[in-house]
Structure 1
């Protein structure tokens, strides 16, 4: 199950991929814009597309799903950030689905520096916890 955080209050909008044994979190920061129409459908389509492209003919593993969610979240964040570029309609406008494609001329989304730093801190969380618990540090 993919639990979305976009409707949470505040500036943190984490998502989580949950199965019977594990939870994989995908941190995110709110982008303040009224142009969020279609985010759910666009996100689920992007995840499904990424899973299909990774899994080939095999049944997708949890790793396939996690990687697909991470990539789709980067793309969606970029699409929301550039949603104001469209300047269409009024109220809750659509996201800019092609922002990255038009800027980069390619499909791969690059993480922002903040996303890289957050990912690194997350990846070394266990090492940091173990280090903080060393007797020398505690003393």
Structure 2
């Protein structure tokens, strides 16, 4: 086991996304997952049916006690649904995790297109958290909100990635899963320029939690000492296989097979 990854995100009672997906991904890739839960959701493959908020001070306390005792080799953030929660997370990182690689998954837009964050929360996310980020991982709708432009193809993906890089993160990965076409292209922008990753699109409804899973898989790689490109490359392979071998559970957007790396019978008598 290598790579301590602290995740600040919401809980998904259906187990496909959020903290549950994060823990599974980190564990499946050989890391050690720790959590600060920002909200509880009543959720399944068909959608979110209720949210119970966690006090921002307690979010910070969860992070503080973990970082001061166990430490972290990487941090990943997911659902930070209120301004006060973003501020609490940023304060905790500044106080107890300076210099630790941070992957920010800006959970801002629901799968159906609804905005999950108000403008005030988006503004503080940009001001407080993005300058701390080693990597920002928006999908196309989230990149549109953050960059203030339409993202409809590879060309606009690259433009948005450059705009977001100017907001302060060390790197930006604008994911292309929401864009049309038989090939899924992800655009990575950093100080070295633009880099592309692509795979053939899988025709499936088992896509719940792909963003959470991807960001946590990348954070695990960074926490294990991989460089950014290698961490992204391994995470994409992991997610692709998790989608391809998904169990098909639920009536809506089903969960991935996070445990495809695990061989439970290996070494059995």
TM-score range normalised by the length of the shorter chain:
0.5 to 0.7
Q: Distance in 2 between matches of 1:77 and 1:41?
A: 14
Match of 1:36 among 200, 207, 210: 207
**Structure 1-normalised TM-score?**
0.63
Query: Residues 56-76 of structure 1, C-alpha deviation per residue, up to 9 Å, x if partnerless?
Result: xxxxxxxx1111000000000
Q: Which has the higher strand share?
A: 2
Q: CA deviation at 1:22?
A: 1.0
**1:73-109 deviation per Cα after TM superposition (whole angstroms, max 9, x unaligned):** 00000000011xx232111001111123239x6xxxx
Matched, 1:19 2:190: yes
* 1:53 matched residue in structure 2: 224
Assess if the C-alpha contact under 8 Å between 2:243 and 2:256 holds in 1: yes
Partners of 1:102 and 1:96 in 2: CA distance: 13
User: Offset at 1:24?
Assistant: 1.5
Structure 1 unmatched ranges of 5 or more = 56-63, 106-139
Deviation of 1:25 after TM superposition, in Å, equals 1.0
Aligned pair partner of 1:9 in 180, 183, 188: 180
Question: Across the two proteins, how many residue pairs are aligned to each other?
Answer: 95
The secondary structure found in structure 1 opposite 2:187 is strand
Higher helix share: 1
Runs of 4+ aligned structure 1 residues displaced above 3 Å come to none
Cα distance in 1 for residues equivalent to 2:215 and 2:199 = 17
Unmatched segments (≥5 aa) in structure 2: 1-171
Partner SS state of residue 102, structure 1: coil
C-alpha distance in structure 2 between counterparts of 1:71 and 1:30, whole Å:
17
Q: Secondary structure at the match of 1:87?
A: coil
The question of whether the paired residues in 1 share the 8 Å contact of 2:206 and 2:248 is answered with: no
Partners of 1:34 and 1:92 in 2: how far apart? 5
RMSD: 1.9
Alignment match, 2:235: 72
Matches within 5 A, 1:44-123: 44-54=215-225, 64-83=227-246, 86-102=247-263
Alpha-carbon offset, residue 28 of structure 1? 1.0
CA distance in 1, matches of 2:252, 2:179: 20
